[in-house]
Chains A and B, each alone.
Chain A
Amino acid sequence: MRKTFNLEDLDCANCAAKMEDAIKKIDGVKFASVSFMTQKLVIEIDDNEFDSVMKKVVKSAKKFKSDCTILL
């Protein structure tokens, strides 16, 4: 399932790129794109493991920009 999330306070383009890289490397993430311009995360994860993988995504995003929140 492909879902879009809003990102709050994503204020640095370089961090957005780094964040995207890290999210892409998470097991179970099929596609991920962090758009700095639209402040959105587009992510594709299999339906049956969506929630568990998404938790990892949120955690990893926090690591890069703890002041940027994924609005679920």
Chain B
Amino acid sequence: MTNEKIITADKLSKRFGDFVAVNEISFEVCRGEIFGFLGANGAGKTTAMRMLCGLSLPSSGEATVAGFDVYRENEKIKKSIGYMSQKFSLYEDLTVKENMRFYGGIYGKSDAFIKQKTASVLEQLHLQKEANKLVRSLPLGWKQKLAFSVAIFHEPVIVFLDEPTGGVDPVTRREFWHMIYQAAENGITIFVTTHYMDEAEYCNRVSIMVDGNIEALDTPSALKQIYQSASMDEVFLKLARKATRADG
């Protein structure tokens, strides 16, 4: 991890009519940091993430991602980030290799880059034999790991992971986190949401959103100390129970 700021948010807000979905959130994320972005359903996580990914314009406040402004340079942001969610990741009716070529091409990478990177990803995942198989035919655990590799195929500065391990078996879930650690060591910043509180323990820092606000932001050990809790699960429950608005 370095001190270089990959995300800066200053009083970032999003309103839909009278409804304040995200209320003046301010935080910074450093290069190579694993940043856990937690909150109950409806707390405003998705809205905040969409602004940071350049998909939704803020109502007020400032933010930069990878050095680009979320208002004026959102197209540049889109090119600098990777994104993966449990729901949308790979094309099931393309082969493993075709998915990589497709994503590499979308991000404007050269044929030489795609060829070399494909070989190294296949090797890393031990998927050489499955390179020409349809993604549909892969076991689910492999798909999730492949999806992560594809999300960082173009070597983005930061990758946004939206509940990447939902429904995954416990062994694969751990292998997946091992890959996250490796990516972070290679300088990729990780911005991750999860409903598994043991995974919150694996983050360098964690923020917890409640009703559109960031209620807490610190390292897992500091948060446990502040909220006098034995686990992040307890910290989360203490904070999220304060929520007054219905989930959205």
Asked if A and B are interacting partners, one says no
Where the two chains meet, the residues of B that have a C-beta atom closer than 8 Å to any C-beta of A are: none
